[in-house]
Chain A
Amino acid sequence: MFLYIENNVLYLKGYWTVENFKDIKKQLTDLKNNSFDYVDASQLEKLDFYGGYLINQYLKDFDIKNIQDKNIEILKLSKDIPNLPPKKSNIFLELIEGFYQKLTDYVAFVSFTGEVLINSLRRVKDLEARNLFKELEETALKSLGIITVLSFLIGIVIAYQSSAMLATFGANIFIVDLVSISLARELSPLIVGIIVAGRSASSFTAEIGLMKVSEEIDFLKTLGISPYSTIVLPKLLTLIVWLPILITYSTILGILGAMIVSDITLGIPPNQFFQRLAETLSFDHYLAGVVKGPVFGIAIGLIGVYEGFKVQQKAESIGFSVTKSVVRGIFAIILIDAIFSVIYRWLDI
């Protein structure tokens, strides 16, 4: 019981605090049909903002007598609730603003790309072999495991899915054409590109973002060392060189997976599989896939480091930038792949 009426006086008692908020509110609501002359707060032991808020909401028209000094201030502080300013929400303006931001972001990215290239080439002497080896280990070697497993499994899946259909038409041997060409030209570059975009672009952003927050980038600049040559260039070079190797590796493993399935489900022995492979998979097909590697590498690298450099001096912004770099990296891979497809079609490759 937090209140009671006696001789036309409403007595408040006990702890009018947040823990008892709901009970007090209910008792105040139940008061509606009762009348009293004034409120006596002499038995009020403790009042906090929540209790004060209820008194100001429900009993504001009554005199409050005998309130202890310590509670008067709380009652005052919980009285005048300020109004919030109107929330700025104009969908049209927000759309324009969003579009403008995107546009400036793309312009900034292009400008950043130019800055990186010019600075990296001008200060190529800052490039250290130690950094290159570190990137090779981080970016290339550590992604080998997942690429091995995924490529092998994708080869198996494609072979399994297509074997039943090909067997219906008695075209068993064409499984080699289907698997090898699709893997070499399209699937392996895409798998490798997407995995590296997810793995490396995010780690580049996080690494550089953290360096920005901890002022390491500024530290390098004050030493007269270009962060582009020391940090960005090794990453880009590693990706440019390593992605074609990974694509080749992925294609080989995919074909191996398909070869095993072909032997089991279609009865094509490995020697026959390889014989057909040599006839089908021309160097042009291989080149059409592998040439995408350096382009993907540049895109992934630039997006990763750009988002990293965009991190503000606040740790929270690293998370946002990492997400952005992964999404944009994958988007860029698919977009570039589509452009390659159109170009190949034009050139009849």
Chain B
Amino acid sequence: MAGYIIQVKDLVSKYGQKVVHRGLNLGIKEGELYAIVGGSGAGKSTLLKTLLLLKKADGGKILFKGKDISNLSEKEIEDIKKRIGVMFQFSTMLSSLTVGQNIIYVIKKRYSIDYKTALDMAKLKLKLVGLSMDTFYMYPSELSGGMKKKAALAVAMSTDPDILFLDEPTSGLDPISAEEFDKLVRTLVDTTGTTIVQITHDLGSLMFVDTVAVISKGLVVYEGNPQNLTNVNDDWIQSLTNTTRFRRLLDGK
């Protein structure tokens, strides 16, 4: 059985006096597709920032492959950061570089790998996410929404991170492109074994994940199979599962 790649134990996060997380717990297993959902202002983005080591926890522990990150040296933290990939909500890439150059830049900066390997790797990653090789020469501003998401995913996966975070990966995509992207993410988890964590509002995406964590009032109120969400006795989850969209998705499946 796969071990946990990330465990969050009794996490407390604050902005000044405002408490965002008050003892939040969750565990992400290696090689799974994990989703974090919650209403607006539930603390999903703060959790993402904390997991990306961009914000320090105000209490509790975060374990990366069993190691408490608060006890690690700066060098060890930097090494962990290298093993984390992220695709931001707006598919952020360096706008002054082409997609191919973006991938090569990340590979060379993170691991000082020779140009030939970085170039070959850029081509492999573009193929992996289903983009044509023409995309290599295109600037992010020249790409459509769906292509930009895929390109950002290729950049995020360029150094084969142990865990990949996708922030609202299907936002701004039409339903067909969104489903195509969800399927791509599922395929990547199944073929490469990469752990992928999605922060999402898209109920459709939940149908493809292994585990869903629902955040409400600063706590994880449910963590488990998305199919069992309907049986959970929590106000927010009940409101979510009673929506017509969720019912339709469930029936469709």
Contacts and interface: CB of A to CB of B under 8 A. Distances in A.
B74 interface: no
B141 A314 contact: yes
B119 to A, nearest CB: 8
Contacts of A314: 141
Interface stretch (B20-28, B132-140, B230-238): B132-140
Contacts of A83: 123, 133
B120 to A, nearest CB: 5
A78 B141 contact: no
Contact of B159 (A18, A22, A87, A317): A18
A77 B120 CA distance: 12
A21 B111 contact: yes
A316 B121 contact: no
B128 to A, nearest CB: 6
Q: Which of B113, B123, B160 has the most CB of A within 10 A?
A: B160
Instruction: Give the interface centre of B124, B141, B191 by most chain A CB atoms within 10 Å.
Output: B124
A19 to B, nearest CB: 7
Interface in A300-334: 312, 314, 316-317, 319
A316 B141 contact: yes
A82 B123 CA distance: 6
B95 interface: yes
Interface residues of A, number: 25
Most chain B beta carbons < 10 A, residue from A18, A74, A314: A18
Contacts of A85: 133-134
Given A18-B159, A53-B117, A84 B192 contact: no
Interface in B116-171: 117, 120-121, 123-128, 133-134, 136-137, 140-141, 159-160
Contact of A77 (B95, B100, B117, B124): B124
A339 to B, nearest CB: 36
Nearest to B126: A82
B193 interface: yes
B191 A73 contact: yes
Nearest to B120: A81
Contacts of B160: 17-18, 48-50
A84 B131 CA distance: 12
A81 B124 contact: yes
A28 to B, nearest CB: 13
Nearest to A21: B113
Interface residues of B, number: 26
A73 B121 CA distance: 16
Interface in A1-53: 17-19, 21-22, 48-50, 53
A82 B191 contact: no
Contact of B121 (A19, A22, A50, A317): A50
A130 interface: no
A81 B141 contact: no
Nearest to B93: A316
Contacts of B112: 22
B155 to A, nearest CB: 14
Contact of A53 (B121, B191, B192): B121
A49 B121 contact: yes
Given A49-B160, A82-B133, A77 B111 contact: no
A345 interface: no
Interface string A180-208: 00000000000000000000000000000
Contacts of A317: 141
B127 A82 contact: yes
Given A17-B160, A19-B111, A84 B123 contact: yes
B134 A77 contact: no
Nearest to B31: A70
A316 B143 CA distance: 12
A49 B126 CA distance: 13
A201 B137 CA distance: 32
Nearest to B113: A21
Contacts of B193: 70, 74
Contacts of B125: 49
B140 to A, nearest CB: 7
Contacts of B159: 18
A94 B158 CA distance: 32
Contacts of A87: 137
A81 B123 contact: yes
Interface of B: 82, 95, 100, 111-113, 117, 120-121, 123-128, 133-134, 136-137, 140-141, 159-160, 191-193
Given A49-B125, A84-B133, 4 more contacts: A18-B159, A50-B113, A82-B124, A82-B127
Q: Would you list the 3 A-B pairs with minimal beta carbon distance, nearest first?
A: A48-B160, A316-B95, A73-B191
5 contacts: A50-B113, A50-B117, A73-B191, A81-B120, A82-B123
